[in-house]
Amino acid sequence: MFTGIITDIGVVHSLTQEGDLRARIGTGYDMASVDMGASIASDGVCLTVVAKGPDWYEVQVSAETVSKTNLGSWQVGRRVNLERALKLGDELGGHIVSGHVDGVAEVVGLVQEGDSTRLRFRAPDALAGFIAPKGSVALNGTSLTVNDVEGAEFGVNLIPHTKQVTNWDETALGDRINLEIDTLARYVARLRDWERHLSAG
């Protein structure tokens, strides 16, 4: 589990196709404190450490993960939002994030408002109903509050601090962004569907 609070910005050092995609990511984390097999959310995708060095780790990315996320567009030199998995007693600063990306949203609007940036996204139709004003979403691993929703489009606001500690300052129109809907929204929708099923039976 994660919180959507980014704690490092990694850099993709290498990408190799070995059946699965293998990526080496440079990091400022103390890798001596990271176990082999540990989970690190990389641009919001929970990935398993399969090799490591003093300032890097490697992950294998399955074809399924590539098809459901934006990791297939990674290039060497890309800066990546990183978060280590929660430990018992850690502060929950954002919201509960699983690292299991639901789909990819497209950046359809980008406006500077003073020092902040207002971004607009188009979600896949199948996920749009899970996104609500003042609710939470994880976008490229970052816990963000939804400002407004109109159909399949929704907006968020990035304050200067968020842009400084993430890779969001590199975002451009048309970018594909990993989207994880709020777990609570998922269960509320499931409960609603089940109640309809019971009432129809």
Each residue's pLDDT tens digit, 137-163: 999 999 999 999 999 999 999 999 999
The answer to whether residue 190 scores a pLDDT higher than 70 is no
The answer to whether residue 47 scores a pLDDT higher than 90 is yes
CATH architecture type of domain 8-84: Beta Barrel (2.40)
Interatomic CA distance for residues 149 and 130, integer angstroms = 11
Q: What is the pLDDT of residue 23?
A: 97
Q: What is the pLDDT of residue 76?
A: 98
Place of tokens 């400084």: 164
The answer to whether residue 194 scores a pLDDT higher than 80 is no
The mean predicted confidence, pLDDT, of the chain is 91
Interatomic CA distance for residues 84 and 40, integer angstroms = 5
CATH 2.40.30.20 applies to domain 103-191: yes
Write out the residue limits of the CATH 2.40.30.20 domain(s) in the chain. 8-84, 103-191
Q: What is the pLDDT of residue 1?
A: 82
pLDDT band at residue 184 using 50, 70 and 90 as cut-offs: confident
Nearest C-alpha neighbor of 136 from the set 146, 128, 150: 146
Q: Which residues pair with 10 in a beta bridge?
A: 80
Amino acid identity of 143?
S
The phi-psi region of residue 12 (left if phi > 0; otherwise alpha if psi is between -120 and 50; otherwise beta) is beta
Interatomic CA distance for residues 48 and 132, integer angstroms = 31
Average pLDDT over residues 90-116: 88
Q: What is the pTM of this model?
A: 0.90
DSSP summary character for residue 170: G
The answer to whether residue 2 scores a pLDDT higher than 80 is yes
The answer to whether residue 171 scores a pLDDT higher than 80 is yes
CA 165 → CA 22, 65, 68, distances in Å?
Answer: 25, 25, 25
